[in-house]
Amino acid sequence: MTLPIGFVYTETDTVVLDPDLQVQASVHEVFRSFAHTGSAFTTVRHFRQQQLLFPCRLRRGAHRGELVWAEIEHHDVLRPLDPLQGLAAPVIASRDRELQLYVALA
């Protein structure tokens, strides 16, 4: 399963937060903005007005798995907020409080 940005698999296939602190900060800003506005479109507007880029991991090609930064899109906001991503069970089972926070905010 492809994980939403902000999460990665460990070598043992455990789901954890991406260790990249810039990625974590960007995902946190999506949750913060969405919690404040209640709108994915307004969150996108916020990122664009502040000239904030959003991380993306390439899924195909020679650079598969590499991190790139681009303008945020509507689906970039919705994907980490989607409770149907199948992440709730492994995240809640985790003892990592930060991961539980992501589920609680979603």
Note the pLDDT of residue 41. Answer: 94
**What predicted TM-score, i.e. pTM, was given to this entire model?**
0.72
Which residue in 63, 66, 72 sits closest to 26, CA to CA? Answer: 72
Residues 9-32: what's their mean pLDDT?
91
Tell me the per-residue pLDDT of 22-54, one tens digit each, with 9 for 90 and over: 999 999 999 899 989 989 999 999 999 999 999
Note the pLDDT of residue 70. Answer: 96
Higher pLDDT residue, 88 or 74? Answer: 74
**What are the strands, taking DSSP E only, across the chain?**
7-9, 15-17, 53-57, 67-71
Q: Are strands 15-17 and 7-9 parallel, antiparallel or unpaired?
A: antiparallel
